Amino acid sequence: RTPSGNLTESARRGLAIFQGKGGCADCHAGDHLTSEKTYAVGLEGPRDRMREFNPPTLRGLYSRRRFLHDGRARSLEQVLSKYHRPEDVAGDVLTEQELADLLDYLRSL
């Protein structure tokens, strides 16, 4: 965010990706960027009893050290490039710039 609290240009582009091409807003919706529904997103491990997960709120991502239900991802970059890639969710591959913009938006939350 800028000193005035507005989104940077990169974060504004990231918001557009979040709401569109990335498919993020399908599950991370509303003011709290979550949903009461559960979704099968391919993140279950062999020892997990659950196959569907409730999307966590994305508010405050900048202060988290571990990500996903089991903490396997240690950065937002890992989440979006290894475990929960936009192309797996929405079917669209993001360019490096689009991924950087999306990360800027997510870090602004």
SS3 assignment for 21-43: CCCHHHCCECCCCECCCCECCCC
103, containing H or E segment: helix 96-107
Q: Is 48 exposed, middle or buried (0-12, 13-18, 19+ CB in 10 A)?
A: exposed
Confidence class for position 45, pLDDT limits 50, 70, 90: low
What is this structure's pTM?
0.81
Average pLDDT score over the chain? 84
Is the pLDDT at 49 greater than 80, yes or no? no
Q: Bridge partners of 53? A: 39
How far is the C-alpha of 28 from the C-alpha of 19, rounded, in Å? 9
pLDDT at 102: 94
